[in-house]
Amino acid sequence: MNIRRAGRNAVLLAAVLCGITGASGGPVVFAQLRYAGSWDPYPGVFADIAAVLTMTTSVNPSPERRVLDAESPEFRVRLAETPFLIVLGSDEFAVPSRAVAALRDWLLAGGTLFVDDVSERERSRFDTSFRSLMREMFPEYKLRRTTQESVIMKSFYLLRRVAGRVAVRDYVEYLEYEGRPAVIYSRNNMVACWARDRFGAFLYPCIPDGEPQRFVSQRLFLNVLMYSLCGTYKLDAVHQPFIERRLRMRTW
């Protein structure tokens, strides 16, 4: 197994996600940021993602997410306990100045932030406020657009395009620090592609290309997830054919 260290993330955390027994042997837990806004559009979606990861990979995810409150005085401490943080939203994205400082320090220390604008609009308050926050947090860096050569497009699956529930942009943006994407930003509402009802049917259609678009979006999210903890995880992906077969067995 070829695992490279992403930034200064703890090797133990990378090993746990990739199926190696860690010191605690505990499951991987999704962490999501709570802020004063539309932070939680899909409350049950991470259990849906965890179910797919359990069935198709050696990852041992927890169906229960960890919510980190940007207003909490313990935010910096709790943030240090996770290498991967998810931010969702459709309206204004604003966090206290002390949380901004904590996020910057965490990102520079090796953390990875995945941000998904779920508004599905060409212009959104979330997008405007997020870009403003990035300029405040990292005035020395700029968001870049992915190409087919970007590590996000080939960290686990080799992808030729990006996707989400909608097609607002044909690229994902990222902020690079020390050669790694520290912030990954989608405008296409990728997370909605995982949400299911209590009978197991997908809640939201993918527009305009239907289920093939969903499949690409889910692969892209898995690329982001694997990269965030395992670096350039598996460009050779020796067990990828097995995962492909398991995915085809599912009803999409």
For residue 8, what pLDDT is reported? 33
pLDDT at 17 over 60: no
| CATH code 3.40.50.12140 for 11-248 | yes
Q: What is the DSSP string of 179-227?
A: TEEEEEEESS--GGGG-B-TTS-BSS--TTT-HHHHHHHHHHHHHHHHH
Burial class of 245 by CB neighbour count within 10 A (0 to 12, 13 to 18, 19+): exposed
Nearest to 183 by CA among 234, 130, 233: 130
102 to each of 26, 52, 150, how far by Cα in Å? Answer: 26, 32, 27
Confidence (pLDDT) at 231: 59
pLDDT tier at 164, thresholds 50, 70, 90 = very high
Distance separating alpha carbons of residues 116 and 239, to the nearest angstrom: 29
According to the model, what pLDDT value does residue 248 have?
52
Can you read off the two tokens belonging to residue 157?
């699956």
Single out the residue of 159, 188, 158 nearest to residue 173, CA to CA: 188
246 vs 176 pLDDT, higher one: 176
- At residue 228 the predicted structure's pLDDT band, cuts being 50, 70 and 90, is confident
**pTM of the full structure:** 0.83
- Of the candidates 152, 194, 156, which has an alpha carbon nearest to the alpha carbon of residue 171? 152
